[in-house]
Amino acid sequence: MTNSVPEFSAHTNCFLIIGSNTTEAHPLVASHVMEAQQRGAKVIVVDPRQTQMARLADLYLCPRPGTNVAWLNGLMHVIIAEGLQDASFVQERTEGYEELRQVVMTYPPEKVEEISGIPADDLRAAARLYAQHKPAAILYAMGITQHTTGTDNVKSCANLSMLTGNVGIAGGGVNPLRGQNNVQGACDLGGLPNVYPGYQAVTAPEVKEKFEQAWGVAGLDDQVGLTVTEMIEGAGQGNVRALYVMAENPLLSDPDINHVRHCLEQLDLLVVQDIFLTETAELAHVVLPATSFAEKDGTFTGTDRRVQRVQKAVEPLGESKPDWQIICELAQMMISGSRFQVPNLQPETWNYASPAEVMDEIAPVTPIYGGVSYERLEREGSLQWPVPTADHPGTPYLHKGKFSRGLGRFHAIHSQAAAELPDEAYPFTLTTGRLMFHFHTGTMTRRTEKLAQEVREAYVEMHPDDAARIGLDGAERVRVASRRGEIELAVRVTPAIRPGVVFIPFHFAEAAANVLTHAALDPDSGIPEFKVCAVQVEPVT
């Protein structure tokens, strides 16, 4: 996120919320949006489902899934055609405007209506609301990123924000809402295949040398590694022989999970580290019991770059241990073993007394965390990176006065179709998502009775017109099939979803939505297209 959640209630005058079921998936963020709305801020929601946030919005747009670039270009077309852009910001702080203008001017609202299904007049109204109520914030979630065009979608959001001068100001910006409570921190600290901590490229020689000196080793790999989906595919092809899975459940969360199971079964060694025996852990050769958040010390870095302390409330149960301790003990055993010869690296290298010492190692080699320490966090409550020095107060919003790269770059992008569209055999578009009462693969929430009783089983939402189209005739269950598999589940008929689109929450192992989804990837990010695939639906009698 370029900005901070508290800014929304204090400063933002317009929200453009895209592909985010905000009240259910990010309720605390939603509370700030609603507080801003009470003081007069405008809310625009764009989603193929009329979520609670959409019902609260001043303007709701219902696009066909997979058409985000088209309608975002349409918004920018209207803004430029009506002279609503921030001309001085564009001239002084950006580059590539003319190329952008040439592309978006080929997306008039009427053409966008044909592509996306959004009425031309609604698109014009949204463009005017967003451009005329500054500061305006874009909020998006995985409804934007989980597409083969996810990177293009995000770049288009950046284009719109820069075009209207909404970057580098309080209450504005481009703000992805992270899907889990510490996924931001995991990325910050190198949990990606192409970077060291602090988003420092593994391919940069000077970065490689820096970490070799810091860690007292030579020969660190300078090649980009594999993404999660590439690891799974590598296992199926025999190129990945062992996999270590921590707090992840790919047998429910990855696309085309029948194929995922086949791939995992080819591994020589599967290790799973988790707090419960998940579907993936049931396949593992070794299960390492980890602790929950309440049983360990550490930090969480939230969606708005906010680093906060986590303090142990209870002692670890049974033989479970904190993740950092398991990793350190395993590393010590590997280094001590006769088969592992790592120059200058000794077991004591991994002998930390506490997570605070790990943070003390992070800070000197990670500029955005340079001034972060447990002592400061306990004294100040939280810090938002970048925090380059011990006396730096942190950064509530990014790009004030100047972009980190100098000038902000516009990307001229044309709309592209999703990888798999409906056809005669598979006439519906499936999209997936989350519910308020369950979290991710349900590892924790489905074991919690008070949450489980709210939604006990999987279901599919479909529009009344589509229910009539398939001859539902009061049937309560349907069979949903794709080219990869099929599931049987309850059906909920509702006008709150676009005709031709069906929605399935992905929390339920017994009717897993990801049996149906396919593993077509965004070529830049490697993220699968969970939000668009073709399915057929038929009543179960």
Q: What residues are paired with 536 via a beta bridge?
A: 481
Same domain for 245 and 281? yes
- Domain total for the chain? 3
Pairing of strands 136-140, 14-18: parallel
Out of 177, 199, 231, pick the residue that ends a domain: 177
Q: What is the pLDDT of residue 225?
A: 94
Cis before 135 (ω within 30): yes
pLDDT bucket at 444, cuts 50 / 70 / 90: confident
Out of 177, 209, 224, pick the residue that ends a domain: 177
Q: For the packed helices 205-215 and 355-365, what is the interaxial angle rounded to 10 degrees?
A: 140
Q: What residues are paired with 487 via a beta bridge?
A: 480
Q: Is residue 448 part of a domain?
A: yes
Mean pLDDT of 33-60: 96
Long-range contacts of 338-342 (CB under 8 A, 24+ apart): 342/217
Same domain for 372 and 238? yes
Judged against a pLDDT cut of 60, whether residue 246 lies above it is answered with yes
* 3 state SS for 81-131: HCCCCCHHHHHHHEECHHHHHHHHCCCCHHHHHHHHCCCHHHHHHHHHHHH
Nearest by Cα to 168 from 204, 200, 137, 191: 137
CATH of the domain at 169: 3.40.228.10
Same domain for 12 and 158? yes
Read off the tokens for 39.
């003081």
Q: What is the pLDDT of residue 436?
A: 80
Q: Is residue 302 part of a domain?
A: yes
pLDDT digits (tens, 9 = 90+) for 351-376: 899 999 999 999 999 999 999 999 99
Same domain for 151 and 256? no
pLDDT digits (tens, 9 = 90+) for 277-304: 999 999 999 999 999 999 999 999 999 9
Judged against a pLDDT cut of 90, whether residue 474 lies above it is answered with no
pLDDT bucket at 506, cuts 50 / 70 / 90: confident
Q: Is residue 389 part of a domain?
A: no
Same domain for 159 and 207? no
Q: Is residue 240 part of a domain?
A: yes
Q: Is residue 402 part of a domain?
A: no
Out of 135, 159, 177, pick the residue that ends a domain: 177
Same domain for 74 and 111? yes
Mean pLDDT of 124-149: 95
Q: Is residue 299 part of a domain?
A: yes
Q: Is residue 397 part of a domain?
A: no
Judged against a pLDDT cut of 60, whether residue 90 lies above it is answered with yes
pLDDT digits (tens, 9 = 90+) for 190-210: 999 999 999 999 999 999 999
Same domain for 324 and 265? yes
* 3 state SS for 117-152: CCCHHHHHHHHHHHHHCCCEEEEECHHHHCCCCHHH
Q: Which domain holds residue 121?
A: 5-177
Same domain for 474 and 330? no
CATH of the domain at 519: 2.40.40.20
DSSP 387-423: --STT----SSS-SSSBTTBSEE---------SS---
| 483 HSE (CA, 13 A, CB side) | 14
Nearest by Cα to 173 from 395, 19, 387, 4: 4
pLDDT bucket at 333, cuts 50 / 70 / 90: confident
Alpha-carbon distance of 20 to 31, in angstroms, equals 14
Same domain for 226 and 152? no
Write the CA distances from 11 to 8, 141, 396, integer angstroms: 6, 21, 13
- Tokens 């910006």 — which residue? 173
pLDDT digits (tens, 9 = 90+) for 335-353: 877 565 555 566 667 889 9
Same domain for 106 and 203? no
Alpha-carbon distance of 130 to 59, in angstroms, equals 11
Q: What is the mean pLDDT of the chain?
A: 93
| Cα 267–chain centre separation | 28
Judged against a pLDDT cut of 70, whether residue 45 lies above it is answered with yes
Same domain for 456 and 308? no
Same domain for 135 and 149? yes
CATH of the domain at 257: 3.40.50.740
Q: Is residue 414 part of a domain?
A: no
Mean pLDDT of 269-277: 96
pLDDT digits (tens, 9 = 90+) for 391-442: 999 999 999 999 989 999 999 999 999 999 999 999 999 999 888 888 777 7
Strands of the 306-310 sheet, one edge to the other: 298-301, 306-310, 382-384
Read off the tokens for 69.
């670039």
Are the C-beta atoms of 368 and 188 separated by less than 8 Å?
yes
